[in-house]
Chains A and B, each alone.
Chain A
Amino acid sequence: MIKTTRPREGFLNIFAYQTVTREEYFVRGHRACQGCGAALGLRLIMKEAGPNTIVVNATGCMEIISSPYPYTSWAVPWIHVAFENAAAVASGVESAIKILRKKGKIPEDKEINIIVFGGDGGTADIGIQALSGALIRGHKFLYVCYDNEAYMNTGVQGSSATPYGASTTTTPAGKMSIGQGYWKKNLVEITAAHRIPYVATACPSYPLDLMKKVRKALDADGPSFIHMFSVCPTGWGTPPELTIRIGRLAAETGMFPLYEIDHGKYKLTLDLPNGLRPIEDFLKVQKRFRHLTKEDIEVIRNRVQEEYDRLKKMERFTQEE
């Protein structure tokens, strides 16, 4: 039995959850795998965003599972065009709304959220150019990268967001290979380097934290980016019923630290008074890391600690100003 700490609002959460709307905008009936972290995240994000939202979806798991014609899971306008261009399509949508509002064709006071969903492949790899272009131009939308750490839709191929040492079908572990041979691309730093107002990491295992960040992102005075850790039982070889727990373990071990960069100010959003939990707790429950030796794990531990210490420093440094 793996124990994790409770979300930090503790007991009061019982009441906090009651403030969440019962309305659904990403509705049930979709075809996601059991225990899909990304689908859960989308549902929560849409609850926070509400009905006045246009969703642009990159090709990928969430697009495939939610729109097999003639069915749709979307109770809001939803646009899917291609794989690498979700941020580009959203640029056009935002630009259109801006000019239509200016010309009086859309009422001035009508708030319309634009949310983009892209997987890690669609964001960190093939879609990064379109994303960078859109962010630097300042289109006001929230881009959510639901990161399940590989190309899951096509059968678990490695992406640049696949963590070091993970075995995938194109980075298989073997006698001559540790699995993924390089470190996960840091999407938060890359997007934050565009000096957009709000960037955060989140995980549906902390639903209130996720929704709070979505609210901040939607209220930001420009583009915003949320990097959402999305547990994938199918691709990672984890029991579906452990999805929530594994998401928490990722945060607690520092494998996926939860933090935000709000107008340049770093803030770790999950209290870990006793420091990081041993990364084995996270690694050992997943088939994709099963081959790692003690030495391999040490290498990962050092890197994770280094990153976490760096975040702490950044937090101190930027909050002091």
Chain B
Amino acid sequence: MAHRTGIEVSLAIAEAARQAEVEVISAYPITPQTHIVERLAKMVADGDLEADFITVESEHTAMSAAVGASLAGARAFTATSSQGLALMDEIVYLASSLRTPVVMALANRSLSGPISIWNDHSDIMNVRDAGWISIFANNGQEAYDLTLMAYKIAEDHRVLLPVMISFDGFILTHMIEPVCVFDDEEIKGYLPPFNPPYKADPEHPVTFGPVGVPDIYTEAKKQQDFAIRSSISVIKEVFADFEKEFGRKYKPVESYMAEDADVILLSQGSVYETTEIAVDRLRKEGKKVGSAEVRLWRPFPFEDLRKAVANAKVVVVLDRAISFGGQPGPLLGEIRSALYPLEKKPGVIGVTAGLGGRDIMIQDYEKMFEYGYNYLKTGKEPEAVTIVGLRE
């Protein structure tokens, strides 16, 4: 049976990749992702995992080789962070448009400059529109479970899209957490062998990546969007099956005490769990607050979000990245636009916090709720960009 064990989250993710029997791993070192692929390299070296580990010379090649391996019929895995993701950006878009079910573990880290190895979400926001299925893990258990589920989703013939699992750098990657790890026997057969409908096989030649002339490019892009938009039903199915089989429940939008809340604090990643503590505190003071998380970032779960915040008066969106000169947070913009068509909709305001590894304290979350209440009272929005925890 599965055993609960104290394990560094990076190593739990590597363990999930091993149990998924990945066949080609192409990865380049970057903090804070490195422990994952170091462990995988050791597994291959020790004969615990039958895979080919390509020690590539850049992240651009890491993604390129993963795409090549996937097209040749192998289950491919890579992991990166921050600048690494930015460098592979070009091929991130190609992985999805070539419909390669590559899985990438993304240890969220801020983008330079100034150079910072610490956590925020500016790296993932940079690939928001790259056509990948994108899911946030909030703790070690989720990172482990979701890495396994990622292949189930990606390789489903109704989907055939790459999946990235995001988890906060250092805050999770370097943390030893209690994780329920499956015994190999228990998880065997959870993933059927990788069997893509098309691959680079000389017996059945296929042309991958032809020129998209104007006559066809538009249709190709429509198809791609259709594919990722439709994948939400498969994702929900995989979540439901996982719950049925293993008892742990995942939802596209998570929420806590949100049903009757006046003010909801909406976030992504490991901070979501801390917002729950803030909710508990404020509830004790008699404040009707709740919290929510957009776990499934792409495809965006419009219906689930609308349901989760339907009864609230204000949604305070916590962004971990800045859209400079823009919305000002990428998440804020998404939430506003998702709720806009509703007839009865909550007010939506945005705050930013936790950039480049700046800790967010419980008081900071309380402050964010305060902005919500203030808006409720005065209708006054915090000005762009309101950063909670900024030294002034």
8 A Cβ contacts from B99-153 to A: none
Separation in Å of the A49 CB from the closest CB of chain B? 10
Indicate if the CB atoms of B209 and A96 lie closer than 8 Å.
no
Q: What is the chain A residue whose CB lies nearest that of B53?
A: A95
8 A Cβ contacts from B40-93 to A: 50-52, 54-58, 60-61, 64-74, 76, 90-91
Indicate if the CB atoms of A77 and B58 lie closer than 8 Å.
no
B201: interface (CB < 8 Å): yes
Indicate if the CB atoms of A82 and B91 lie closer than 8 Å.
yes
8 A Cβ contacts from A48-90 to B: 51-54, 56, 63-64, 67-72, 74-82, 84-85, 88-90
Enumerate chain B residues within 8 angstroms of A81, measured Cβ to Cβ: 64, 67-68, 91, 94, 98, 209
Enumerate chain A residues within 8 angstroms of B207, measured Cβ to Cβ: 67, 72, 74, 77-78
Enumerate chain A residues within 8 angstroms of B213, measured Cβ to Cβ: 68-69
Enumerate chain A residues within 8 angstroms of B57, measured Cβ to Cβ: 129-130, 132-133
Indicate if the CB atoms of B68 and A133 lie closer than 8 Å.
no
Contact partner, B68, options A52, A84, A96, A98, Cβ 8 Å: A96
Enumerate chain B residues within 8 angstroms of A105, measured Cβ to Cβ: 73
Contact partner, B24, options A67, A77, A96, A132, Cβ 8 Å: A96
Chain A residues bordering chain B, tally (CB within 8 A): 45
Enumerate chain B residues within 8 angstroms of A63, measured Cβ to Cβ: 211
- Chain B, interface size category, equals 35 or more
Q: How far is the CA of A89 from the CA of B176 in the complex (A)?
A: 35
Indicate if the CB atoms of B68 and A79 lie closer than 8 Å.
yes
Q: What is the chain B residue whose CB lies nearest that of A133?
A: B57
Indicate if the CB atoms of B66 and A92 lie closer than 8 Å.
yes
Indicate if the CB atoms of A64 and B68 lie closer than 8 Å.
no
B208: interface (CB < 8 Å): yes
Indicate if the CB atoms of A67 and B56 lie closer than 8 Å.
no
Q: Contact string, B177-219, partner A, CB cutoff 8 A, digits 1/0?
A: 0000000000000000000000111101111111111001000
Contact partner, A96, options B23, B60, B90, B205, Cβ 8 Å: B23
Q: How far is the CA of A184 from the CA of B68 in the complex (A)?
A: 31
Q: What is the chain B residue whose CB lies nearest that of A51?
A: B202
A137: interface (CB < 8 Å): yes
B26: interface (CB < 8 Å): yes
Separation in Å of the B252 CB from the closest CB of chain A? 31
Q: How far is the CA of A35 from the CA of B52 in the complex (A)?
A: 43
| CB-defined A-B contacts under 8 Å, sample of 6 | A54-B200, A64-B211, A77-B200, A80-B210, A81-B98, A85-B64
Residues of A whose CB lies within 8 Å of any CB of B are 51-54, 56, 63-64, 67-72, 74-82, 84-85, 88-93, 95-100, 102-103, 105, 112, 129-130, 132-133, 137
Closest A-B pairs by Cβ, 10 of them? A92-B68, A133-B57, A92-B65, A96-B74, A88-B64, A80-B209, A96-B72, A89-B68, A92-B69, A67-B210
